[in-house]
Structure 1
Amino acid sequence: MAREFSRTERVGQQVHKEVASIIQNEYKHRVGDLPLITVSDVEVSRDLSYAKIYVTIYGEDVDGKAQIKQLDEAKGFIRSLLAKRIRMRAVPQLAFYEDKSITEGMRISNLVSEVVAKDEARHQDDEDEQQ
């Protein structure tokens, strides 16, 4: 039997979709040239009054803390646009957090690939010496 989604999960999905759209379309035009910011997850409290929004920030030499600070400063603007798009009695308070899991995963994957390549090169050198 399929599991039904709770109200908090449905609201979280809708907030995720709308905030991602707002950041991509309206927010960038308001602030200017920004690195690529994606919404990776949204957690809504059980009473639907707070939403933790986890964002991943892509780009070289990008200060994630500064970008999160800019998002925090614009959360009133983002929340007002969200209120116009979502039909709810009360729109949740927004809090932005940097999600480093994707960039850390890519960094670890690159490290593993480097170690495997070095190991293969060393193994190839050993075989060449034996012949």
Structure 2
Amino acid sequence: MNSKRLKRISEEIKKIVSELLKEGLKDPRISMMTSITEVEVTKDLRYAKIYVSILGDENEREETLTGLKNATGFIRKEIGNKLKIRYTPEPIFCLDKSIERGVYISQLLNKIKQEEESKAKVNENGNE
């Protein structure tokens, strides 16, 4: 299948599921701090791997993933209603920890920068 078409379908699914997270899903287990980072659709359009980023602790992530997995049928139905394609892909939710890793790396870099600045100040004071 054409890769441009797969990308368009992936983006449409991302929009639909993001909209559902904001307005359509009423499950209290699903955190308000949930966002869709990426969607990958298989070439045969049977499955859509939906990467989800959840801000919160481990328990909150587990609860949100459980809520999303329980709502898979409803989400698939909504995707089918809004997308006019022969097969409606089966949503598969995966936890995406890339944002958390980015924040962690940023914190490490800031810590290193502060340590280097404090060493430079000590050297300046020692040379005077």
TM-score by length of 2: 0.89
Partner of 2:36: 39
Partner of 1:24: 22
| Match status 1:108 vs 2:95 | no
Report the alpha carbon displacement of residue 62 of structure 1 after superposing the two structures with TM: 4.6
Q: Distance in 2 between matches of 1:102 and 1:34?
A: 16
Report the alpha carbon displacement of residue 6 of structure 1 after superposing the two structures with TM: 2.1
Q: Distance in 1 between matches of 2:66 and 2:27?
A: 13
Structural RMSD (CA): 1.7
Partner of 2:83: 86
Partner of 1:72: 69
| Local SS of the residue matching 1:31 | coil
Q: Structure 2 stretches of 5 or more lacking a match?
A: none
Deviates further, 6-15 or 90-99: 6-15
Partner of 1:14: 12
TM-score by length of 1: 0.87
Report the alpha carbon displacement of residue 117 of structure 1 after superposing the two structures with TM: 0.7
- Whether the 8 Å contact between 1:56 and 1:100 is mirrored in structure 2 is yes
Deviates further, 46-55 or 82-91: 82-91
- Whether the 8 Å contact between 1:53 and 1:97 is mirrored in structure 2 is yes
Q: Distance in 2 between matches of 1:75 and 1:24?
A: 16
| Match status 1:52 vs 2:49 | yes
Q: Percent identity?
A: 30
Q: Structure 1 stretches of 5 or more lacking a match?
A: none
